[in-house]
Every structure is written in C-alpha cells, then in structure tokens.
Amino acid sequence: MQNFYFPEKVKIAKIEQHSADVKLFRLQKNRGKFAKNRDGLVFNPGQFVLAGIWGYGEAPFGPASPPENNSYLEILIRNTGGVVTNAFHNLKNGAEATLRGPYGNGFPLKFFEGKDLVLATGGCGIPPIASLIEYIIKNRKDFGRVYLIYGAKTPQDLLLKERISNWEKQIKIILTIDKQAPDWKGGVGFVSEFVKEIEIDPNNSCAAMCGPGPMMNALEKILRPLGISDRRIFANTERKMQCGIGKCQHCTTGEKYTCTDGPVFYFDEIDRNWD
C-alpha cells in the first residue's frame, strides 16, 4: 500500500531574501533529480507541493521555478509568524527539509496554446504565475500576446525582480504599487486603471490569476472589463491544504476540494460558492 503522507528528503541548496519577510528556497534532492510527468514537467505550473521540516510540520507552496527543470524546485515563503514558515526562515543553506507532491491540477497549458494571455497577481501570489511564465517563455511561439499584471504594496514587496526584468523581453509587464515611491517608474494605484494598456483579442484569450481570497475580487475587476469570459479565467486559489490528497477537509470550497479538484478553478466554478 502506497503511503501518500510519506515525504522525501530534500536539501536547501540556496536561500535568497526577496523582501522584508519573503525568502526564496531552492530545494534539491539529496541524490538524483526530480521525476517528470508525462508532459516532461516536474510539476504543472499552478500545482502545489507540501514542503516541511521535521519537528515543525508541512505547508503548501506553489513552486516558482521553471517546471521542466528537474534538478531543483524553488518556493517562496513569507514568514507569517506561523510555525512552519518561521522555521523555514531560520534554516541555513545546506539544511534538510521534506517535500511531497506535486498535488492538484495546475493551469491548462495545452488550452492556453495559441491564445492571448493575461496573467494577474499580487504580492505573494506570484510563484505559480512565475513558473507559468517560465514555461511560456520556453515555448514562446505557442502563445499569443502575453501580459503580466503584478501589484504590490511597495516596490520592496515585489518579488522575483531579477526574473521579471528578464521576462520583459518576451512578455509585456505591468507593475503597480499602492502609493508613489521615489524612483518608481511603474504604475501607482489600483491595477484596474491599467487595463486600457492591454490589447488582446477577447474572443481568443485566457486569463490566469493567483491571490488570496480577498485579492480575487480585485483581480476579477481587472479581468472582467477585458471581455474574457468566466470560463476562460483560471483562478489559482489559496486554502489550507494540509493532507494534499482530499481527506482532511480543510481546503474545501463549496462542492470542490482545492487540493484535488483545484487549486486552479474556472472562475465561474468558484465565483458563486457560498464560501
């Protein structure tokens, strides 16, 4: 009988500080490489893994690394003061952690092919979108016009800045912050004000978004005016995925399980959920 709860050992190969409370962790297998799925990917962008430390526990994270890269996996962790995130922030390079997954569905990459894409996220919601962008750039000719709209409170809260500047050659990027800051050249205020900069064919477009519950409403306000239908808006949702295999009930939303049916849902699938 397979034990789905048993995690594998991984090594922290690199730690980077990305903002005051967010660090990036590169996870490597002690020996060998990560297994690939049928599509030649270690995970499907949008899927999540359960990373943990013995003695502290596990928590769900959406990997941010290029999905075809099987030598490492990168996750971004915000120190929320919780047991697991705090323990991760105290780790040093070379330390050991645990990993299981990937779990859930991820974004429908094949369906995205040949279409214009609007990717919208804010703050800590960037990791799954980042891995999706890496995939898009690697297969750039398969996709139409691609926009990333990424908002944060201050310029310091924008994560993965180096990678964002690399992406700029391949996709159109709109960065916004809440209040004007010195030397800031991007947008200020609600992301919705920048919708007019987006030129897509609404009948042949998809949107992918990621953010915590309250942010979904804000992102929806951007995507709806673009004329993209709800069935083509794919929302990567955040819930308390604890077991990862559809048992513990923490991550349910309406009739769905975020861990097994999601975490990526058609927007109309979750929009009218009572919770």
Partner 1 sequence: MMLVIERKKIDDLIQTLAKNTSVYIPVRREQGGAVESVFEKFTPGKTIDFYYLPTLCSIKEFFLPAIEDTFVFDKRKNQAATLAQKKPFILFGLNSRDLEALTQLDEIMAKPNTDFFYFKKREMATVIGLINEPIKTPPGGDLILLKVNEEQYEAMPITKKGRALTKKRFFKKESAVITNAGSKSEEIMPRLRQLLLDPEFLSDVIKWSWRQDLAIWDELATLCLGCGICTYVCPLCYCFSVEDKIDLGGKTCARCRKWDACTLPRFAQVTGGHNFHKTIRERYYNWFFHKFVRAYNEYGKSQCVACGRCQKYCPAKIDIEKYILKMVDAYVKAKGV
Write out the residues near partner 1 by the rule CB under 8 A: 1-7, 54-59, 78, 80, 82, 84-85, 96, 212-214, 238-240, 242-243, 245-250, 252-253, 255, 260, 274-275
Q: Is 206 annotated as a binding residue?
A: no
Work out how close the CB of 248 gets to partner 1 at its nearest, in angstroms, rounded to a whole number: 5
Across-strand partners of 26? 14, 74
| C-alpha pair distances (Å), 104 with each of 56, 107, 183, 203 | 23, 10, 40, 28
DSSP secondary structure string, 21-37?
TEEEEEEEESSS-----
Token code pair at residue 101: 């997954």
With respect to partner 1, which residue has the nearer C-beta, 82 or 225? Answer: 82
| CB-based burial label for 152 (10 Å; 0-12, 13-18, 19+) | buried
Is 41 in contact with 68 (CB distance < 8 Å)?
A: yes
The span from the CA of 11 to the CA of 205, in Å, is 40
Those residues whose C-beta lies under 8 Å from the C-beta of residue 2, and which sit 6 or more positions away, are: none
Shortest approach of partner 1 to residue 130 CB, angstroms? 19
Query: Is 78 annotated as ligand-binding?
Result: yes
| Least Å from the CB of residue 141 to partner 1 | 36
What would the two tokens of residue 266 be? 């058609």
Is residue 124 a known part of a binding site? Answer: no
Largest interatomic CA distance in the chain: 59
* Complex with partner 1: residue 134 or 261, whichever CB lies closer: 261
Least distance (Å) between residue 210 CB and partner 1: 14
CB-wise, 66 or 263, nearer to partner 1? 263
Contact 127, 43 (CB under 8 A): no
**10's tokens:** 């991984």
Nearer to partner 1, 95 or 137 (CB): 95
Please say which residue, 84 or 228, places its beta carbon nearer to partner 1.
Answer: 84
Q: Cβ of residue 162: shortest distance to partner 1, in angstroms?
A: 25
210 is in an annotated binding site: no
Which residues are part of a known binding site?
Answer: 76-78, 243, 248, 251, 259
Which residues are part of a known binding site for FAD?
Answer: 76-78
